[in-house]
Amino acid sequence: MVSTQARNALAALAATAGMAAFVAGCGTTSDGSDSASSGSGGCKAVSIAYLGAKTGDSANLGLNMVGGVKVAIDDYNKAHPDCKVTEKDFDSQGDPEKATPLATQIINDSSIVGVVGPGFSGESDATGKAFSEAGLVTISASATNPALTTNGWKTFHRVLGNDDTQAPADAKYITDTLKAKKVFVVDDASDYGKGLATGVKKSLGSLVGGTDEIQQKQTDFGPTVTKIKASGADTVFYGGYYAEAGLIAKQLRAAGYKGYFVSGDGSLDPGFVKAAGSTGAEDARLSCPCGPASADFTTKYKADNNGKEPGTYSAEAYDAAKVLLDGIAAGKTTRPDELAFVNSYDQPGLTKQIKFTPTGEVTDAVVYAYTVKDGKIGDATVIK
Question: Site residues (CB under 8 A) for another protein?
Answer: 57, 189, 212-215, 217-220, 222-224, 226-227, 230, 243, 246-247, 250, 254, 271, 274-275, 277-280, 375
Contact 155, 186 (CB under 8 A): no
**DSSP calls for 319-374:** HHHHHHHHHHHTT--SHHHHHHHHHT-EEE-SSSEEEB-TTS-BSS---EEEEEET
Nearer Cβ to another protein (123/187):
187
Nearer Cβ to another protein (73/214):
214
Nearer Cβ to another protein (3/47):
3
CB 313 → another protein: shortest distance, Å? Answer: 18
CB 239 → another protein: shortest distance, Å? Answer: 14
Amino acid present at 23? V
- The strand ranges marked E within the chain are 47-52, 86-91, 112-116, 137-140, 156-158, 183-187, 208-213, 235-239, 260-263, 285-288, 346-348, 353-355, 368-373, 376-382
Q: Which residues pair with 52 in a beta bridge?
A: 91
CB 5 → another protein: shortest distance, Å? Answer: 11
**Residues whose CB is less than 8 angstroms from the CB of residue 11 and which lie 6 or more positions away in sequence, other chains included:** 93, 94, 95, 96, 97, 98
Contact 34, 111 (CB under 8 A): no
CB 132 → another protein: shortest distance, Å? Answer: 34
Q: What is the DSSP letter of 268?
A: -
CB 146 → another protein: shortest distance, Å? Answer: 25
- The Cα–Cα gap between 322 and 7 comes to 27
Sign of the dihedral through C-alpha 176, 178, 179, 184: negative
Q: CB neighbours (10 Å) of residue 257?
A: 20
Nearer Cβ to another protein (146/271):
271
Integer CA distances (angstroms), 206 to 96, 168, 257, 320, in order: 40, 15, 22, 39
Nearer Cβ to another protein (39/375):
375
Nearer Cβ to another protein (25/94):
94
Q: What is the DSSP letter of 208?
A: E
**Residues whose CB is less than 8 angstroms from the CB of residue 336 and which lie 6 or more positions away in sequence, other chains included:** 135
CB 192 → another protein: shortest distance, Å? Answer: 16
| Longest Cα separation, the chain | 75
- The Cα–Cα gap between 328 and 320 comes to 13
CB 204 → another protein: shortest distance, Å? Answer: 20
Nearer Cβ to another protein (136/247):
247
Nearer Cβ to another protein (33/226):
226
CB 351 → another protein: shortest distance, Å? Answer: 26
CB 372 → another protein: shortest distance, Å? Answer: 14
Nearer Cβ to another protein (254/330):
254
Amino acid present at 44? K
